[in-house]
Amino acid sequence: MKKRPMSKNSIKHLAIIMDGNGRWAKERGLNRTKGHEAGAEIIRDITTYCAAHKSIETTTFYAFSTENWKRPKLEIEFLMKLLDRYLQKELETYQSHNIRFQAIGDIEAFSRSLQDRIKKTEEMTKNNTSLTQILALNYGGRAEITSAVNTLISEGKTSVTEEDISVALQTPYSDIDLLIRTSGEERISNFLLWQISYSELYFTPTLWPDFSSRELKEIIENFEQRTRRFGGVK
């Protein structure tokens, strides 16, 4: 059953750029991998909070971008193993909180075993309804739009509408109401470029491993007080 918005300016689709794991670890004299491990734990806290929220239906996390392949090989290998462990561990959370898991991005670049883990988790949670948690994996906004256009061309389209592109994207649920980026950086970094055309943006200096559902609650309350004009006048 879909949740019903409880206020005039309620949020249905939340997107988060999880930034700051490396800096969090460096400040503590730890290896960057410890920052990634700590960050994975925060995803659970935020996801379960969103699953219980009065209006949030979808939460999309930027987990691994197409540009992240530029990182050191050992760090990438660790991130792939961490993702596999995360999905294996979080299946119980998904089921107990009625959360559907989905991935967007080109997962064919991952190992066969990791692809299988992703697909298996999607299949096992597909009937859950309290929240859809999306992980953007090997994802880039430009690549998603390009892929959508090529799909439409392959279907014989010679002219496309905005609606055509929206439906052909990997995230055809809804536009993003609120985009949050942690760590103090104020960039979009090629994330959900089509879907954030009228999103409200919020940049917090908090590093991702220090982010909490309490801070998210405060950010959402700030969002609910904003005036969204969508190009019009109110």
Instruction: Write out the catalytic residue numbers.
Output: 19, 68
CA distance linking residue 36 with residue 157, whole number of Å? 43
- Close Cβ partners of 39 (under 8 Å, ≥ 6 residues apart): 18, 20, 21, 24, 208, 209
Burial class (CB in 10 A: 0-12, 13-18, 19+), 225: exposed
Burial of 110 per CB tally in 10 Å (0-12, 13-18, 19+): buried
Which two structure tokens, joined as six digits, stand for 126? 């597909």
